[in-house]
Structure 1
């Protein structure tokens, strides 16, 4: 019987994790269909609204958690598998294409929170940090231009999002222009890039995302 005492708090911690995970999954399901509310998400998760607020005190917290889940489950496994790829530029293209698919599928996230640009900047920075080993591998293999930095990747991806994640863009059109866009990473006959200016770090990226969201 001496082991019985610790079980209650341990089970509570497991239940808390389970509730949070259900809320995040419900957030993806509800917002994946378009507009949604916190009450709808709570109902989908099978929890009360008070439980939802205990885990996620506002919409921004929930969207951040959903974006983290998307990164962890849909993108990081692809990045891990691609790190030692014999064709790193193609792997990077595949990852970016998957990102565009996810942005299209999860469009409801954009309108669910007012400061989506701020939230998206943080997610893109985490994604670019994860892509750094793949970028360096591609540069060592001679497949990716050496003057590209990991800090360039979020802006590069936003360029793709701006034109290729708009409603009505067909998969064929997206594939065609993603291939064209990624040709810019090819070191063959590449013109040297101008120096990057970091005095307004994050501001230009936030502005670019805001423009895409408004469109």
Structure 2
């Protein structure tokens, strides 16, 4: 009859819906397990799968390699732990200080996941890609700081993720003391001070990829 579904079609759709729920549940468990295992330092995909309560084949179906796991864990860190701080910073009186606190918190979070930086061979690539997604949320904060004269006027929102990855590459390695991170974060953020700052040189075509530069250092 028109408008009615065959019983087989209904059951097939139900099975598809259950599979989607099961898949989503597996992904969430794997990401949560990734944070736990990476936080312990030494990690493997097998250990992450076991912690998540899934088979290694299920993990590979959703995350085909280590880089995919690191990307998902880093995205989870930013969305659950850092994004609320970015949103609160919109009301901060001192924009530059708010950005510095965001950077410090990011480094602390990455350092807490002790195996995150070393688990994937191209962490810098992954970090740049993930952090670039947050450029839009940082843009209003950057504009307000520039209008207040707290941040140099030639900085762009797209510069911020790359600036943060520079900090991550040097200061989020396992064993880096919090006091050392705080010291050099303060030094890095002095570069955002418009007072007595020299103009930033323009980027030349083909020379704007920080991932290439950091990747060569990592491989050295």
Q: Which residue of 1 aligns with 2:120?
A: 113
Q: Which residue of 2 aligns with 1:136?
A: 143
- Segments of 5+ residues of structure 2 without an aligned counterpart are none
Tell me, in whole angstroms, the C-alpha distance in 1 between the residues paired with 2:127 and 2:73.
11
- Over 3 Å counting, the alpha-carbon distance change for 1:125 and 1:198 in structure 2 is farther
Q: Which residue of 1 aligns with 2:134?
A: 127
Tell me whether 1:193 sits opposite 2:200 in the alignment.
Answer: yes
- Over 3 Å counting, the alpha-carbon distance change for 1:69 and 1:181 in structure 2 is same
Alignment of 1:1-215 (within 5 A): 5=11, 7-202=14-209, 204-208=210-214, 211=217, 213=218
**CA offsets per residue over residues 99-128 of structure 1, 9 Å max, x none?**
111222223123322333322221232233
TM-score (norm 1): 0.85
Mark the structure with the bigger radius of gyration: 2
Equivalent residues of 2:152, 2:192 under 8 A apart? yes
TM-score (norm 2): 0.83
Equivalent residues of 2:128, 2:162 under 8 A apart? no
**CA shift at 1:29, angstroms?**
0.8
**CA shift at 1:92, angstroms?**
0.2
Equivalent residues of 2:128, 2:165 under 8 A apart? no
Runs of 4+, deviation exceeding 4 Å: 4-8
- Over 3 Å counting, the alpha-carbon distance change for 1:162 and 1:59 in structure 2 is closer
Number of aligned positions between the proteins:
212
- Segments of 5+ residues of structure 1 without an aligned counterpart are none
Tell me, in whole angstroms, the C-alpha distance in 2 between the residues paired with 1:167 and 1:110.
8
**CA offsets per residue over residues 44-65 of structure 1, 9 Å max, x none?**
0011112212221222222221
| Aligned-pair Cα RMSD in Å | 2.5
Equivalent residues of 2:86, 2:137 under 8 A apart? yes
Tell me, in whole angstroms, the C-alpha distance in 1 between the residues paired with 2:17 and 2:192.
50
Tell me, in whole angstroms, the C-alpha distance in 1 between the residues paired with 2:20 and 2:188.
47
**CA offsets per residue over residues 159-214 of structure 1, 9 Å max, x none?**
43344334443323322332232122122232322223343332x33322552x46
**CA offsets per residue over residues 66-124 of structure 1, 9 Å max, x none?**
11111111211211221232211111000000111122222312332233332222123
